[in-house]
Structure 1
Amino acid sequence: MEAFPEQVGSFFEAMELFHEMQLSGVTPNEFTLTGILAACANLVALDQGRWVHFYIKRAKIKMNERLLAGLIDMYAKCGELDSALKVFNEEEILKQTVWPWNAMLSGFAVHGKSKEAIDLFERMKSKHVAPNKVTFVSLLSACSHGSFLDEGKLYFKSMKDFYGIDPEIEHYGCMVDLFGRAGLLNEAEEFISLMPMLPDIVIWSALLAACRIHKDIERAEQIGRIIKELEPKQVGCQVLLANIYCGSGRWTGAKDLRNEIKISGTRKAPGCSSIELNGMFHQFLVGDRSHPETKQIYSFLDDMSIKLKNAGYEAEVGEVLLDIDEEDKETALSIHSEKLAIAFGLMNTPPGTAIRIMKNLRVCLDCHHATKLISKLYDREIIVRDRIRFHHFRGGLCSCKDFW
């Protein structure tokens, strides 16, 4: 509960209010229902979200643009993109405003469905629905995830030239990410230098992440220094830089940075993963042993680790910044929060059932590698929503194509 206090608290408060209103015979209005749907979306509470949708139909509550957008957003953020699209396509008359379009565009973007997002935007244009700033954040993000470089540059230029919309720092961030993913790190840095506002830590973090993918150590070090000046206590970027060092065999640099983090007293937020099962939430911290089924979970985890190793899995020990031996590093990786949540999900759901997990941090390289193999070994789709995007693991592959 430590990692999601606000989301968890708001979710249960919203659901409690919803149930009290029903017991009192009070029909919730649009604002109450959209708030409840947003709470479900934030915690990937699909079962609860479906129940709210069923209530809207049963109570014959009049649908409007905002409520429709809330339903689309809930399904998309719970990993049910097909359901989101179904709801979107059912309400043609309500798609005269930008809200439902933005919700569907956002859904396509976070799931990495770039071509579908671009097609939807073109369809939106044909319906003469005017886009706004939110529209372009999703559209540019989709272009970035799909490496649609030319399209992204065109859409960014059209904001001001065609729609009269001044790009904000979020749009510039999407473009930096787009250049970075394409390996155009010089262009990304030049683009930052031409921004009409000062770049923030999000902009530099996007470029730092691209340095990790493309193994540009020197540039990563420069960016690390800039980020440290902007936010000295931003430990997440320092950890990412340390991982870049490890990935390049720069163990001394990684160790020095680890010691620097330790001396500064700053701490990275603990990894926390949540999974909904039969309307109940189960949350796991790294190395968590507080769950009632802890003994069974760790026993399953041991069996899963054996299967993984037999399938050729090798732990990404470079992800562990602790000064411990290799075997202990493997153990530390094996008890990451998403692995505990996955084990719990596999134990408690029928074969073939999709498993949905929410992670408060970016999925680490080791867990990403392991989850791909787990999806193949257990013949399951595993959907993980991390801080960056959705990952659909299926048959040993991930929808992000190992670029996140």
Structure 2
Amino acid sequence: MVPSTFKSALKACALTGMTDEAYRLFMSMDDVYGIEPSEEHCSCMVEALGRAGMFEDVQEFINGMPPVKLGALIWKSLLLPCRIHGNMKMAKYALEKLVELDSSDCSAHLMLKQVFLMLGKWEDASRMGVQNEIMRTNSSWIEIRNKVYEFVSNQNTTNEISDKLAEINEKMEEIGYIFNRSELLPMIEEEEYGGVGRHTEMKAVAFGLISSPHGMPIRVVKSVRMCGYCHYACKLMSTFIDREIVIKDPCNFHHFRDGKCSCRDQW
């Protein structure tokens, strides 16, 4: 087996909650195959243990790692399960380590801001100034007939896309869609969350709906983590648009079908 194979297998174990299998694979790298685990392999183990809520084991695992492998990837992998489980203490610890490595890392501050929001700490979240940086980096892409189309924040959409978004929003309201305020990703002002058309992935999805054959899956790539608002919206949309929706963000792969997502709402 090659290192990349172990990385894929460890990541799969992390996403499916197979912590024992992840640990067995990790230990076999050196013991059986003579492959020294890299920082990427270690980060997969941190994510696997963290997603299972085993934060004491995470701390023990990190303490046993060589300092040279304790890079940004390790701490970002720890922030993700901290957000899922609402572990503020560990999230702050991971962020401090990230800041030591790179004080300008916007994505780290954004993840901590999401933890604040999930716990209802709106004042703490509002003090974290990451909005402008996220606005500049937030974009989504979709490929239609071998041509890639990019949608960015604050971009004016065509009338056709706006009409499709309005149609989707109306249908969602008809079936009782109400977003949860704690799910909002604070990349733009809250009053702009009146519908699905403000976010880049939703613009890309709408464009895919009007530009590709009926029934063809919609596949979108996004530059930043998908927010809870759009995640829930896509789950709901997948129940009535007669399409599968696939969105790949830096944290996970989301396959929406029949009102469910392949990430099991953990990303």
TM-score, normalising length: structure 1: 0.62
Matched, 1:286 2:149: no
Greater displacement, 268-277 / 309-318: 309-318
Show the counterpart of 2:214.
351
- Number of positions where the alignment pairs a residue of Structure 1 with one of Structure 2: 264
Q: 1:333 to 1:185 in 2, by over 3 A?
A: farther
Show the counterpart of 1:97.
none
Give distance in 1, aligned partners of 2:159 and 2:137: 22
- Contact 1:169 1:197 (C-alpha < 8 Å) held by counterparts: no
Give distance in 1, aligned partners of 2:145 and 2:34: 48
Match of 2:170 among 292, 296, 306: 306
Match of 1:224 among 91, 95, 109: 95
For structure 1, list consecutive stretches of 5 or more residues without a partner in the other structure. Answer: 1-130
Give distance in 1, aligned partners of 2:11 and 2:188: 37
Greater displacement, 332-341 / 139-148: 332-341
The offset of 1:386, in angstroms, is: 1.6
Aligned counterparts, 1:18-37, within 5 A: none
Show the counterpart of 2:74.
203
Matched, 1:370 2:236: no
Give distance in 2, aligned partners of 1:333 and 1:321: 15
- Contact 1:274 1:358 (C-alpha < 8 Å) held by counterparts: yes
Match of 1:142 among 3, 9, 12: 12
Indicate the RMSD between aligned Cα atoms, in angstroms. 2.0
The offset of 1:333, in angstroms, is: 6.0
Give distance in 1, aligned partners of 2:249 and 2:108: 16
- Contact 1:271 1:285 (C-alpha < 8 Å) held by counterparts: yes
Match of 1:392 among 248, 255, 258: 255
Instruction: Specify the SS of the correspondent of 2:170.
Output: helix
Matched, 1:335 2:206: no
Give distance in 2, aligned partners of 1:363 and 1:339: 10
- Contact 1:152 1:178 (C-alpha < 8 Å) held by counterparts: yes
For structure 2, list consecutive stretches of 5 or more residues without a partner in the other structure. Answer: none
Q: 1:333 to 1:251 in 2, by over 3 A?
A: farther
Give distance in 2, aligned partners of 1:220 and 1:243: 10
Aligned counterparts, 1:30-109, within 5 A: none
Matched, 1:321 2:186: yes
AA at the equivalent of 2:186 = L
Matched, 1:194 2:64: yes
- Contact 1:317 1:330 (C-alpha < 8 Å) held by counterparts: no
The offset of 1:331, in angstroms, is: 3.9
Matched, 1:275 2:156: no
Q: 1:152 to 1:322 in 2, by over 3 A?
A: closer
Give distance in 1, aligned partners of 2:90 and 2:255: 31
Instruction: Specify the SS of the correspondent of 2:128.
Output: helix
Instruction: Specify the SS of the correspondent of 1:257.
Output: coil
Give distance in 1, aligned partners of 2:90 and 2:60: 13
Give distance in 2, aligned partners of 1:322 and 1:169: 30
- Contact 1:315 1:330 (C-alpha < 8 Å) held by counterparts: no
- Contact 2:165 2:196 (C-alpha < 8 Å) held by counterparts: no
Higher helix share: 1
The offset of 1:283, in angstroms, is: 1.4
Match of 1:379 among 225, 242, 255: 242
The offset of 1:298, in angstroms, is: 0.7
Instruction: Specify the SS of the correspondent of 1:283.
Output: strand
- Contact 2:215 2:242 (C-alpha < 8 Å) held by counterparts: yes
Instruction: Specify the SS of the correspondent of 1:362.
Output: coil
Give distance in 1, aligned partners of 2:77 and 2:204: 28
- Contact 2:14 2:48 (C-alpha < 8 Å) held by counterparts: yes
Show the counterpart of 1:54.
none
AA at the equivalent of 2:172 = L
Give distance in 1, aligned partners of 2:188 and 2:144: 37
Show the counterpart of 1:170.
40
User: In terms of Rg, which structure is larger?
Assistant: 1
Matched, 1:234 2:105: yes
- Contact 1:308 1:373 (C-alpha < 8 Å) held by counterparts: yes
The offset of 1:323, in angstroms, is: 8.2
The offset of 1:286, in angstroms, is: 2.2
Runs of 4+ in 1 over 4 A off after TM superposition: none
Q: 1:144 to 1:373 in 2, by over 3 A?
A: same
The offset of 1:276, in angstroms, is: 1.5
